[in-house]
Structure 1
Amino acid sequence: MTKKIILDCDPGHDDALAMMLAYANPEIDLVAVTTVAGNQTLKKVTNNALSLATLIGMNEVPIAAGCENPLVNKIKVADDVHGESGIDGTDLPDPEVELQDIHAVDLIIDIIMNNPENTITLVPTGALTNIAMAVRKEPKIVNRVKEVVLMGGGYLESNASAVAEFNIITDPEAAHIVFNAGWKLTMVGLDVTHKALATQDVLDELLKINTETSVKVNELLSFFQAMYKENQGFDFPPVHDPVTVAYLIDPSIMEVKNVPVDIELSGKLTRGMTVVDFSHVIKEKCNTYVGMSLDKEKFWNLIYDALRKIR
């Protein structure tokens, strides 16, 4: 059976790949795309989602815009990595896909409540504001969701402070709500996604596929490479977000461990840290899992296969 997912994202170069993989892989039924402010403002990332949907011919998947600000923080976008538009590096088509006339939080709740229990998986690849708001507005969704597989955090790696990852520190209060909701949750953090590098052989393969979309992905990742080199010292850029979708398609690409995870909110130096208790000081059973490793070859083969199916 296909896995029904809601992709909650802030496109974003790597969000774009997550959307393409979720749309084109036959194991995934992409039932909705929802947007949240993060990599850029809500208006910009929503426009990017609509443009990407137009590019790949994704006409029947509803797209809804969500929260334009974190619960407490002021929004601080990642234009140093994603550029002024949030997805600089190529020309995307003007949107021909219409935005749904419903708030993303309400669409998330409606889909979960109107589908059988344990059939909808949430895949957040940006700040967790929409998901936290949905939990607060309709707590019943927690027991109906099959699982949450999110991109965020890290047990050793960080990229937005000494100890915090960007998606989590953008809205730590929302992350705290989501990580403590009680549902099954898998954290695909930087320790895994920093292994998902778009190396030169990847860029070459994208050109060999030679579709309109694969060529544009090559252009996007080439821009992403330059920005990561300038701002974070990477020779090749990590494509964080599609690892979540790839794991749902083929769980063998990533080893996971069942360990307690919580979000630090009050530490002067550690706000937004994903505190992972590998020592199991917290003895009670937990529903959180942490990604530990990545099979890069399997991961990229899933991306290539998806792009071959898209025009």
Structure 2
Amino acid sequence: MTVSAARPVILDGDPGHDDAVNILLAHASPELEVLGVTTTFGNVGLERTTRNALTTLELVGAGTPVYAGADRPLLVPRLSAESVHGQSGLDGPLLPSPTRQAEDLHAALFMIAAVRARPGEVTLLPTGPLTNVALAFRLAPDIVPLVREVVWMGGSVDVGNWTPAAEFNALCDPHAAQIVFSSGVPVTMFGLNATHQAVATPERIAPIRALSRREGASAVGEVVAGLLEFFAEHHRDRYGWNGGPLHDPLTSAYLIAPHLFGTQAMWVDVDTSGGPSTGRTNCDVWNLSGHAPNANVAMTVDADGFYALLTERLGRL
């Protein structure tokens, strides 16, 4: 099998400020070949997350196809996070209106077709609830051994951010997350324990804003700075931090510059009990369960290196 120099990826998310930055980073990076952007419910409802994906691509003139997917979890009631991302899901700076619509094909069906077309090559980068990925695996079990890797932003080795036990993306659809972790597909997990190391402080935002002040530069730097500043407001209020963590772009950055991250192989099980720990990603850090690892879990992040990479890549757009 010949693997392309650029890794084929599908960006699956619920944009969302940090999802939007992930879309931009992936499109600015020649190491990645973005086959499509798929959307799900999550930070806001599906109609708005799909519009936000189209809006983000419009900002940089990218014609990448967008496929809308799940509008609800497999079994549990739907959650949303307008309190973090605003009513639109991308509150903050002025953004362009999309000039095109999503494709007719459902996101899960697009994933199935893309993986079958390039067996062993395609990496899925979900940065929201794992519903679309779980649907694809259930509808077409034959693709499971054909997926190169799933790199997911979600879960946590330690505490949650939506309940004391659970991170938002995992809590949105714990049954879907359990399907993916038990599938046998290689999974890399970027949980809160890692993403909270990458806070977008004013000192890290300033060089991003400065990108738009160069002669002939695009508005991307100014827009991203505005997104990050709005995103910071919630985190200052809740945690007292001097900025918001850029969760989702760590997934693309991991594929572009893996040396910036430290991971540990471990067994991960998702709580689907319906009790107070529902949605918790139980991570066997010390191999106490005796189960073989089913995931690589991000543990360390070179935050300065990540922001240097992000700033440099945004400057290409």
Please confirm whether the aligned pair reaches a TM-score higher than 0.5, indicating the same fold. Answer: yes
Query: Does the residue aligned with 2:315 lie in a helix, a strand or coil?
Result: helix
Cα distance in 2 for partners of 1:232, 1:46 equals: 29
**Residues 71-90 of structure 1: pairs in structure 2 closer than 5 A:** 71-90=74-93
Cα distance in 2 for partners of 1:278, 1:300 equals: 27
Q: When the two structures are aligned, how many residues end up with a matched partner?
A: 308
Partner of 1:2: 6
Partner of 2:267: 260
Cα distance in 2 for partners of 1:281, 1:219 equals: 44
Cα shift readout 1:125-165 (whole Å, capped 9, x = no counterpart): 00000000000000111100101100000111310111110
What is the Cα deviation at residue 257 of structure 1? 0.6
Aligned-residue CA RMSD in angstroms? 1.1
**Residues 1-311 of structure 1: pairs in structure 2 closer than 5 A:** 1-59=5-63, 61-115=64-118, 117-210=119-212, 211-266=218-273, 268-310=275-317
Range 226-235 or range 62-71, more displaced: 226-235
Cα distance in 1 for partners of 2:221, 2:207 equals: 9
Cα shift readout 1:107-129 (whole Å, capped 9, x = no counterpart): 010100111x2200000000000
Look up the equivalent residue of 1:228 and give its one-letter code: H
Look up the equivalent residue of 1:286 and give its one-letter code: P
Cα distance in 1 for partners of 2:93, 2:175 equals: 34
Cα distance in 1 for partners of 2:263, 2:227 equals: 30
What is the Cα deviation at residue 235 of structure 1? 2.3
What is the Cα deviation at residue 286 of structure 1? 2.7
Cα shift readout 1:218-258 (whole Å, capped 9, x = no counterpart): 11111111122224433210010000110011111110011
Query: Does the residue aligned with 1:262 lie in a helix, a strand or coil?
Result: strand
Cα shift readout 1:75-115 (whole Å, capped 9, x = no counterpart): 11101100000110011111023311111010010100111
Cα distance in 1 for partners of 2:174, 2:305 equals: 32
What is the Cα deviation at residue 12 of structure 1? 0.3
Cα distance in 1 for partners of 2:232, 2:292 equals: 41
Query: Does the residue aligned with 2:312 lie in a helix, a strand or coil?
Result: helix
Partner of 2:215: none
Cα contact 2:59–2:95 (8 A) shared by 1: yes
Cα distance in 1 for partners of 2:200, 2:285 equals: 30
Query: Does the residue aligned with 1:4 lie in a helix, a strand or coil?
Result: strand
Q: Which runs of 5+ in 2 are unaligned?
A: 213-217
What is the Cα deviation at residue 203 of structure 1? 1.5
Query: Does the residue aligned with 1:17 lie in a helix, a strand or coil?
Result: helix
Cα distance in 1 for partners of 2:295, 2:276 equals: 24
Q: Which runs of 5+ in 1 are unaligned?
A: none
Q: Which runs of 4+ in 1 moved over 2 A?
A: 230-235, 281-287
Look up the equivalent residue of 2:250 and give its one-letter code: V
Range 264-273 or range 125-134, more displaced: 264-273
